[in-house]
Chains A and B, each alone.
Chain A
Amino acid sequence: MSMLELRHVSKSYGEGANEVDAISDIDLSVERGSLVAIMGPSGSGKSTLLTIAGSLEEPTTGEVSIDGVRLSGMSRNDKARLRRRSVGYVFQDFNLLAGLTAVENVSLPLELDGTSMKKARTKGLAALEGLGLGDRAENYPDQLSGGERQRVAIARAVVGDRSLLLADEPSGALDSVNGEAVMRMILAACHGGVAAVVVTHDAKLASWADRVVFLRDGRAVDETLPPPTPEELLNPNTANPA
């Protein structure tokens, strides 16, 4: 069963003559451990797709399911709980709360869920150390570099064994070296069982994914084929034509 499932999801804004379709009739399925990239020009609806998948917005039509549970029947509080426990979100910039240290930021979803401060802090420190930021745990966001801030954001998005990671242009504000580091970390999380969806316009970053979905004008128009397995390579007849 896939971790994230979108079925015939559409979203439109405005009414009557002013109606604008942000996304139309999108189907998407993301399994555990897989990294899916969503590419498209600006205005193609990539960010809307992500906010709907992350329960931050409701689709006009269609069904979103996270780990088999449909979002349409959920109350506001249930959705909030989902965001605390199952879904991690990473934005392009401005991810962290300015008044809290790095480790406090990372432990925040756990604390909001009722975990005691001490336990949450332990888990938060572990997540930061896993990303190489153990010594920056007590720094405030304005004392961290851009790359470090994004890493803290990723730590927060995966802390507490969350299983779905949604990232909207996570490397958008970073240089290429830091951008790659971010993708590397997301991939590492996928190897740990997380299902990840990354929205990007950069092909180099999208190439980290197992599967790339192309969006245009709110529709999924194309998708990369999975890489040939060793068997297929050995049998040229079944190999994909380039």
Chain B
Amino acid sequence: MSIRHSLLALLSEGPKYGFQLRQEFETSTGEVWPLNVGQVYTTLQRLERDGLAQSDDVEEDERQKNYRITPEGGEELSQWLRTPPDLSEPPRDELVIKVLVASRLPDVDVYDVIQVHRRYIVQLMQQWTRMKEDESHFDLAFALAVDAELYRLDSVIRWLDSADGRLRRAATEPAPEIESHVALPSIRRRNGAHR
């Protein structure tokens, strides 16, 4: 997960110290994703090595170093903002595999498996929603981040519902002829897509 672009974004506001950058990163993402200290400084060094950021070499201590963005860094940042990530290859989803497996095993109730996961996800969503609405935690960045998570979980629920329906319909219809397995058609990767 690229935190380098987030750091570049923070730098584009103005020159900052190392420890500043670490603090601000956490606050700006609503403290949803706490960071390893070392990770920040390693990334900063890499940015410098790639010519996207610049520091005055006065200090040895990373925390005290003053960093600033370069023009190349600014271009890299705007390029990153506008380019959608490569989502063409679906990630390996453990839940999908579970459901597929459960539907094949004869002594396993796949609907039960689905309902267990559904309940768990809804419980999670209940907690996230409660947190989001709890006033002391309210800030815009936090809300956006939690919304993202809620939508993600919601999409899983929707898929579970859809799978539920498909499996039930298939159970009542006669089984079609099983052809040899055809590989999932792949979507052509876009050029210049970022990982």
A204 within 8 Å of B by Cβ?
Answer: yes
Nearest CB in chain B: distance from A35 CB, A: 10
Q: Which residue of B lies closest to A208 (CB)?
A: B129
B123 within 8 Å of A by Cβ?
Answer: yes
Q: Which applies to chain B's interface (DSSP): helix, strand, loop or mixed?
A: helix
A112 within 8 Å of B by Cβ?
Answer: no
Bound CA span A58–B121, Å? 34
Contact residues in A for B128 (Cβ distance below 8 Å) = 207
Nearest CB in chain B: distance from A179 CB, A: 12
Contact residues in A for B127 (Cβ distance below 8 Å) = 227
Nearest CB in chain A: distance from B111 CB, A: 8
Contact yes or no, B122 A224, CB < 8 A: yes
B102 within 8 Å of A by Cβ?
Answer: no
Contact yes or no, B153 A203, CB < 8 A: yes
B133 within 8 Å of A by Cβ?
Answer: yes
Bound CA span A221–B116, Å? 11
Contact of A222 among B115, B129, B150 (CB under 8 A): B115
Nearest CB in chain A: distance from B67 CB, A: 38
Q: Which residue of B lies closest to A240 (CB)?
A: B123
B26 within 8 Å of A by Cβ?
Answer: no
Bound CA span A212–B123, Å? 8
Contact of B122 among A184, A212, A221 (CB under 8 A): A212
Bound CA span A87–B60, Å? 70
A4 within 8 Å of B by Cβ?
Answer: no
B145 within 8 Å of A by Cβ?
Answer: no
Contact residues in B for A39 (Cβ distance below 8 Å) = 122
Q: For residues 111 through 133 of chain B, which have their beta carbon under 8 Å from a beta carbon of chain A?
A: 115, 118-123, 125-130, 133
Contact yes or no, A203 B122, CB < 8 A: yes
Bound CA span A220–B4, Å? 49
Contact yes or no, B119 A222, CB < 8 A: yes
Contact of A221 among B115, B150, B158 (CB under 8 A): B115
Contact residues in A for B121 (Cβ distance below 8 Å) = 203
- A214-B115, A214-B118 are contacts. A184–B125 as well, Cβ < 8 Å? no
Bound CA span A202–B156, Å? 12
Contact residues in B for A204 (Cβ distance below 8 Å) = 125, 129, 150-151, 154
Contact with B along A178-218 (1 / 0, CB 8 A): 00000010010000000000000011101111101010000
Contact residues in B for A224 (Cβ distance below 8 Å) = 119, 122-123, 126
Contact residues in A for B118 (Cβ distance below 8 Å) = 214, 222
Nearest CB in chain B: distance from A232 CB, A: 13
Contact yes or no, A207 B115, CB < 8 A: no
Bound CA span A127–B118, Å? 37
Bound CA span A223–B157, Å? 15
B161 within 8 Å of A by Cβ?
Answer: yes
Contact yes or no, A187 B133, CB < 8 A: yes
Nearest CB in chain A: distance from B93 CB, A: 17
Contact yes or no, B165 A207, CB < 8 A: no
Q: For residues 10 through 67 of chain A, which have their beta carbon under 8 Å from a beta carbon of chain B?
A: 39, 41
Contact with A along B147-169 (1 / 0, CB 8 A): 00011011001100100110000
Nearest CB in chain B: distance from A202 CB, A: 8
Contact yes or no, A207 B133, CB < 8 A: no
Bound CA span A206–B126, Å? 8
Contact yes or no, B123 A227, CB < 8 A: yes
Contact yes or no, B125 A203, CB < 8 A: yes
Nearest CB in chain B: distance from A207 CB, A: 4
Bound CA span A187–B133, Å? 10
Nearest CB in chain A: distance from B13 CB, A: 29
Contact residues in B for A221 (Cβ distance below 8 Å) = 115
A242 within 8 Å of B by Cβ?
Answer: yes
Can you list the 9 inter-chain pairs with the closest CB atoms, starting with the nearest?
A207-B125, A203-B157, A207-B129, A207-B126, A224-B123, A204-B154, A203-B154, A212-B122, A222-B119
B: residues with CB less than 8 A from A are 115, 118-123, 125-130, 133, 150-151, 153-154, 157-158, 161, 164-165
What would be 15 A-B contacts, judged by CB atoms less than 8 Å apart? A39-B122, A41-B161, A41-B164, A203-B158, A204-B125, A204-B129, A207-B126, A207-B128, A209-B126, A210-B126, A212-B126, A214-B115, A222-B115, A227-B126, A227-B130
